[in-house]
Amino acid sequence: MSVYIALGSNLEDSISHVSDAVNEIGALPGCQLLKQSSWYQTKAIGPGNQPDYINGVILITTTLSPIALLDALQGIENQHGRVRTLRWGARTLDLDILFYEDQQIDCPRLNIPHPRIAERAFVVAPLLDLVKRMPTPPYQPLADLLSNLDSQELQRLKI
């Protein structure tokens, strides 16, 4: 199955957290990294005064079920010191499944496609590095989506 995963971090050494996570996801049993977007720096949109985020998107193939993949991703987040206390709060690592092939999943732990993709330039821009249209219906052109979003002070990093 083809899966797009968003990565983000705004605590400690954010570049190391997201870069290490890419390698750790690619090393999961049944997973293979296919593509990686550029890294982007954006202002935090969560509560309080937070450091800027580093965001990106990867494309993998996997034989893991959506829930097994979610469990594995949350394990990686935990290894990076992720603490879940405040919704949209600062975090060492955030890993979100954006798309899992063409599946639509709506359960308490997982919603696919991710419900807020089209609202977030920090997801749409790196996703556009990998694909031109949304991978699932209505197959919107990502460039059109991005042009209608507040840039959220999005900046592509040269790393």
- 91 tagged catalytic: yes
**DSSP alpha helices (H): ranges in 51-133?**
66-79, 121-130
- 120 tagged catalytic: no
- 106 tagged catalytic: no
- 84 tagged catalytic: no
Q: Which of 82, 84, 129, 144 is catalytic?
A: 82
The answer to whether residues 35 and 4 touch, using CB atoms and an 8 Å cutoff, is no
R_g of the chain computed on alpha carbons: 15
Q: Which of 71, 96, 102, 116 is catalytic?
A: 96
d(CA 159, CA 39): 8
List all residues 6 or more positions away from 14 whose beta carbon is below 8 Å from its beta carbon.
Answer: 51, 53, 54
The answer to whether residues 97 and 25 touch, using CB atoms and an 8 Å cutoff, is no
DSSP state for residue 52 in the 8-state scheme: P
Q: Which of 13, 91, 106, 150 is catalytic?
A: 91
Catalytic residues: 82, 91, 94, 96
